[in-house]
Amino acid sequence: MLLRTAFEQFFKKREPPCEYRIRDITVLSLPNEKKSVEDLFDALACIPSGQKALNDMAKYRTTFCLDSFGGNTNAYLEPESNRIVLSRSSDFDTRCFLLVHEARHLSQYAAGRREADAKHLDFASRLMILRATEADAQTQAFLACSEWEAQGNGAPMQRFKKHYPCIVSGYEAEKGLSGAFKGWYDDELVGAVYEQNHCTIPRLSNLTAEPSKEPFVSLKPSDISKFCEGSRIKDFENFLNSRKARSVYLLTKTIAEIYDSVSVSKGARHDPSVPTLLLNDLQSNPYARMGADLQILKTENSFSPQQTKNTVKKNILKAVAFTVGAVEKINHAQAKGKRDEKAETELRQGKERVLAATEQKGVKAFFSAYFSRSCR
């Protein structure tokens, strides 16, 4: 009887979410979650940066949602539907600064990011925007935690410190928000995840798509300062032009090169920023090595040749897998301060093989929309 009851409860139809308004903000969640959302908004209303987040959500008519989703994502802004979504699995104190972070993206879009994103940006410019807007949003989240801490509520800051120690260390080193912003770039694992989700996966997923024939637009740090509040960052422009802010993992650059060559073969223009991409130093930084390994693993899992029985698709994925394997060998050699010349040759061959595979007749778009999500 107990087992039967358990099964009935497990398969019982879930109560549908309902829509209601709190502090002039539309909320979409389960009825029994209304109190927790009210508490969340009340917590934000207690501090200046939280008040700004709530005001922006109301001003831009953004819907707040609680939802269940897997993976490492705890929150995201969905620009197309104008929704901020937080995971039900996140604890209350984490939700507090996550909401401030995501609401910060609203003000970024309103201050010019939307127009910048709409341009046919080169790789380096798009990467610069991605990183700077995330660093700015995390700086705002850190500021919120500081404000709560000043009021005697240290729980959000303790959560923040646990998950984002580099930002806290950056703040302490420079004694200001400028250091917190720059500290975002010190987290190699976070950097690897963002490169994977927003650079590697979208390009591999669109190798067979028709590329834009428009000329590329290149932006300078001064062009994005207005929507990243560059005025509160010391030497903002010089920092964004620094190696620390611009370097990428070898796999990221390799996939950018592959996508560029495939696009050019279809009549698109060459992206002049791709050859200028600098590479991360793996020898002196164990966290960078971990980030490089993480990228390799995720790419192998997401783009395995076993995903399809179609010969053409399988050939493309086999060429990608061969290239990723060469990158992995080069990474391991560089981590030891050495070169793997054989792997370097394999890398050149791999890029040629991917290009040749995509030029075969009858190729259609084959990667699921699962691989492309909004900026988180």
**pLDDT tens, residue order, the chain (376 aa):** 454 444 444 444 566 889 999 999 999 999 999 999 999 999 999 999 999 999 999 999 999 999 987 666 789 999 999 999 999 999 999 999 999 999 999 999 999 999 999 999 999 999 999 999 999 999 999 999 999 999 999 999 999 999 999 999 999 999 999 999 999 999 999 999 999 999 999 999 999 899 999 999 999 999 999 999 999 999 999 999 999 999 999 999 999 999 999 999 999 999 999 999 999 999 999 999 999 999 999 999 999 999 888 888 899 999 999 999 999 999 999 999 999 999 999 999 999 999 999 988 644 434 433 333 333 4
- pLDDT value, residue 7: 43
The neighbour count for residue 286, using CB atoms within 10 Å, is 11
* Cβ pair 30, 66 in contact under 8 A: yes
Backbone angles phi, psi at 248, to 5 degrees: -135, 170
- pLDDT value, residue 72: 66
Structure tokens at 306: 């076993």
The neighbour count for residue 27, using CB atoms within 10 Å, is 22
In the block, tokens 């394997």 appear at 325
Nearby residues of 365 by Cβ (< 8 Å), 6 or more positions away? 206, 208, 209
- Residue 40 corresponds to which amino acid? L
The neighbour count for residue 193, using CB atoms within 10 Å, is 18
- pLDDT value, residue 360: 80
Domains of the chain: 14-302 (1.10.390)
Structure tokens at 281: 């130093």
- pLDDT value, residue 361: 62
Nearby residues of 150 by Cβ (< 8 Å), 6 or more positions away? none
- pLDDT value, residue 339: 97
pTM for the complete prediction? 0.90
- pLDDT value, residue 376: 41
At residue 336's C-alpha, the angle toward residues 335 and 341, to 5°, is 90
B/e letters for 155-177, b = 16+ CB within 10 Å, e = fewer, are ebbebbeeebebbbbbbeebeeb
- pLDDT value, residue 165: 98
